[in-house]
Each structure stands twice: as structure tokens, then as C-alpha cells.
Amino acid sequence: MAVAAFLTLGVRAQAPIRARVVVSGLTAPLGFVQDPTNPAVQFVVEQGGRIRVVSSGTLLTTDFLDLRGAIAAGGERGLLGLAFAPDYATSRRFYVNFTNPAGHTVIARFRRSADSAIADPTSRFDLQWGAARFIEQPFSNHNGGDLAFGPDGYLYIGLGDGGSGDDPGHRAQNRAQWLGKMLRIDVNVPDSHPTGYQVPSTNPFVSASGTLPEIWSCGLRNPWRYSFDPPARGGTGALIIADVGQGSWEEVNYEPPGRGGRNYGWRNREGAHDRVTSLAPAFLPLTDPIHEYDRRSGQSITGGVVYRGAALGTGVRGRYFFADYAQGRVWSIGLTIDPSTGNAVASAPADHTAELGGSAVLGRISSFGVDASGELYLVNHSGGTIVKVESLSTPPAAPTGLRIIR
């Protein structure tokens, strides 16, 4: 009954929203990341290898960082993720996730230069994974690619299962392999540290025999985009992972704060359904998603964010927004949290696609972002634009570049 009441009140309280293109002229954008030191500045990750700067709504011509000569791009490869260290204001450190020319995953640390709009390319340091400075990818797809710092200050790295179909190596259930996992590492180490990180002592498998201690959770197919519900804005601190499905189900996984050690089931399960069960999972129980949808609704989920801004109204605040890349659709779900367990139950989804302008405005949505005020943005990969979600009660932006014609 509590869930039904939440659903009814949440949907009815939502004010109409709209989408407005705020940045254009991009090439295959995959991410929109707020500068933690300047509310007027955001960074756009382009798949081809450039990180672009948006200052007060204007796309600058000078890149923050250009990695086009260091990566392989195309398909599911490229420059895929960007995250700024919690102490970026003083350390100037940030991290990127990309596929190198051989197609393997690199997590590299850089520093911003003395100019806040330009990175120092000579500061590159590739984190070391075992004996290598990369994580080997056996196939070209399912690279994951997102990076996010949690409220705990640690860096979370989502990796796909290595690619092909149905995880032929059963890698997502193999705790001696990086692939198909969420990793959690502590990158607050000196520049001289040989690997660039240490393993937090509170990681769930840190003492488990035959298990990589960096592993935070298992059983993921391709966690393309994930995010934390920000406590600084009244959120729960939960990690919400959207995992791209194989051929039947797309899923949203909800992880209460600090609740690692979960097995999300792939390849034994796709969503909440049996998939390939010829080999046993790494461990039980398997954690089901809080929301899933089948191929009638979409074919490739793009994870989003819990909205914690103010401009869209209280009826939208606390809802999780996500999209489908293939269909260009946008939904939100309400989240009812069990105070005793921290687990969430999702409401029925609200479909926002039409009110946001449909495919003409949204295109293929590769990512979500938020600005310094917590307001919501969508990344249109196919159209090369950044789209801001606004309330219909918000006055339209004043036109710029006007001139008098006599």
C-alpha cells in the first residue's frame, strides 16, 4: 500500500517538463561532467578522444584534453568516462577511462594545468592492474566505461563482461577476473605510488582466497552508466547501476550505501530471469534488479541519475531518470526506501519522451549529467548536443547574438 501511495502521489505531483538544447556542435558525445571548482564550467567527453569545455553555456574551441592519438574509437570503444577526484581543487587530479589502440581498457590519471580550462597531457599515469597498465578486453564490445567517485571518496570502475554474447568465458562470475565487475579502489595515494591506487580494507572480498580484492560486486554484463544518489543534496548515497541486457531484458540495480559484495546474476540471469545456467554462479544469493523492461520498450539502457535539483519541482525530486539508447526514450521511476534495510522498491515508470521533444530533440541518449545546482542534462550522442531538462514554468532562455537590422 505504501508503494502504491507513493506512485500515485509522485506521478500526480509532477509538473510538465521540457527539453532545451544548450550545447551543439559536438561529435559523438558520451558524457557531461560538472567542474567541481567552477559552477559555470562543464566538460563534455567525446568518444573520439576529446574532452571539450563548456563555459557559461559556450563551447570553447580549445580542448581540456585531446587523447585522439592514444585510443581506439568506434563501436563501443573510445574515450568513455571522466571523473574528478574529490580533492580536485587542491590535487588537480582527474581520471579517464578509454580503450587503447589494442582495444584494452586503460584507467589513467591526469592533472589540470595552471590554466583551469586545460589539462596537462604530460601528467598521464596509467593505473596498474596486476602486471599490466591496462585491463585486457577479449572482444570489442562490453567495455563498460563509466567512472564515479562515491560518497566514501573511493573510485568505482564498472567493467563489462569482456564482450561477445552470453559471456562465453563466464567472466562475470569469475572472481579471479576483473571483467563483469564493479571495482572499488582508493586513489588517494602519492604520485610515486607504483600502481596508482590501494585497495580499501573494507572491500567485501579483500580477504577471500582466489578473489581480486579490488572487486566490489559481481555479475554485471555491461554497466554502461551508473551514479550515486548524492547525500550532499539529500540523497541516500546509494549506487544505482543500469546494466545493458543481452537480448531480452534491460535492468536497473539499486545498491544501498556501503552494501558491496552483491552478485547481480549475469550470465546466469538476465534481469530477474534465468539466462545461461550451465555453470554455477560465483556465489548466492543473486540480487534482482528493482526495475527491468523487455525488448518491446527498448534495447540498450542508459543509466541516469536521481534528480536532486529544485527547478523541476518537488514531484520530480528523488525520482531516478534513465533512458534507452536504441529507442531514444526517457523514463523516471520513484524510489521507496525500506528504512530497515536501505533497499528500494521502484514505482511504475513515467514516460517523459514525448514531453521532452522525442527523437528530434533527444536522439540516441548516451549519458546523463547534472550541473552545480543538481539540474538535469541529457547527452545526445547521435545529434551531438547537450539537452537540459527544464520545467515548463521556467521562462525560456533569452536569445543571444541579436543585432539590429535597419
pLDDT digits (tens, 9 = 90+) for 92-150: 999 999 999 999 999 999 999 999 999 999 999 999 999 999 999 999 999 999 999 99
The pTM of the full predicted model, rounded to 2 decimals, is 0.94
The residues near 392 (Cβ < 8 Å, ≥ 6 apart) are: 15, 16, 17, 18
Q: What pLDDT is recorded for position 311?
A: 96
**Contacts within 8 Å (CB) and 24+ apart, 72-76:** 72/99, 72/100, 72/101, 72/102, 72/103, 73/47, 73/48, 73/49, 73/99, 75/140, 75/141, 76/140, 76/141, 76/142, 76/143, 76/145, 76/163
pLDDT at 195 over 50: yes
Among 6-20, 34-48, 249-263, 340-354, the least confident range: 6-20
Give dist(CA 91, CA 294) in Å, integer: 44
pLDDT at 341 over 60: yes
More confident position, 397 or 58: 58
Q: What's the Cα-to-Cα distance from 99 to each of 46, 110, 136, 194, rounded to whole Å?
A: 13, 16, 10, 21
pLDDT at 359 over 50: yes
pLDDT (tens digit, 9 = 90+) per residue, 360-385?
Answer: 999 999 999 999 999 999 999 999 99
Ordered by where they begin, the domains of the chain are 2-391 (2.120.10.30)
Per-residue confidence band for 393, with pLDDT thresholds at 50, 70 and 90:
confident
Over the chain, what is the mean pLDDT? 94
**Averaged pLDDT for residues 212-222:** 98
Q: What pLDDT is recorded for position 12?
A: 41
